Each structure stands twice: as C-alpha cells, then as structure tokens.
Amino acid sequence: MMRTMALGEPLPDAEYDTPEDVLQAYQDCGKLNGYDLVFEYERNRKKKGKSRIYQCDRGGKYRDRKNPNLHESKRRGFKKNGETRTRKTGCKFKIQALLIPSGKWRGSIVEGKEFHNHEASDGPVNHSANRTKAFNENPEA
C-alpha cells in the first residue's frame, strides 16, 4: 500500500465562518497538490458537538448504477468486456470541520486518516468536481 502525504503541508489552525469555507480552503490546497475532497456526512453529537466530514473524492467503493435497459451506445465508462471503470480506490483520507464554541468552524485532518492510498492527479481537471466547478464559472467555454 502506497502512503503519500495528504495535501502537502497541513493547513495551519484557522477558524472559518462556515463548514463550506473549511472545505473550500482544503480543496484549494488539495487542487495544488493533485487531490480533491467531497462531502461524506454530518454528525451532531452532544459531547463532541456538530461536525462535517469530507473525504477524498477517490474514497469509498464503486456503486453499481448500471441501467440494464440503457442501449449500449448510450453507456459511458464501460470497457469492451462489459466491466465498468471507476476512479475509486477506497482512499481513507478525511477532513473534519468542527463547530467550536465561538460559533466558527475549525478544519483538521482526521487522525488515522491522513494518508492517501493513490498517487496525486496530474491536474485539477482529473477530478469531476473540479470540472463541474470550472463549467459553472465559465459556461461559455
């Protein structure tokens, strides 16, 4: 198993107004280093407070969403032998955005989940979330 450091140097402790600001800061840092993050889940616990977890976009397992009624010419991401393609590697890298008593949010890398199990991408367009963002910012292109 390959172990590469997550986002280059970890971001310094900082406080953000929203959990989306935490995500944006880590995504900006990750984009420079060939990684991207996506929302995984939110939790609200009495003792530890409210938090959001973001994971590497290559985290998790492939979920089969094939439509057997879809014509072969309309299918995307299939190899010639009928198997599907996936970019998922089961990467465990995670970021936590934690609501602190001041009402601000603090981002941190989840302990034990600080390494990616794959090489960094060549560029930001290799991540579907970045392609979507680029299109939304410049739909004429």
Tens-place pLDDT, residues 69-100? 777 666 665 555 556 566 778 888 898 999 99
Grade residue 47 by pLDDT with cuts at 50, 70 and 90.
confident
Residue 71 maps to a domain: no
Which class for 43: exposed (0-12), middle (13-18), buried (19 or more C-beta within 10 A)?
A: exposed
Residue 72 maps to a domain: no
**Distance, CA of 65 to CA of 67 (rounded, Å):** 6
Domain ranges, residue 92: 4-61+84-129
Residue 136 maps to a domain: no
Structural domain total, the chain: 1
Residue 68 maps to a domain: no
Residue 134 maps to a domain: no
Q: Can you give the pTM of this predicted structure? A: 0.66
pLDDT at 110: 85
Residue 139 maps to a domain: no
The stretch 29-46 carries a mean pLDDT of 85
Residue 47 maps to a domain: yes
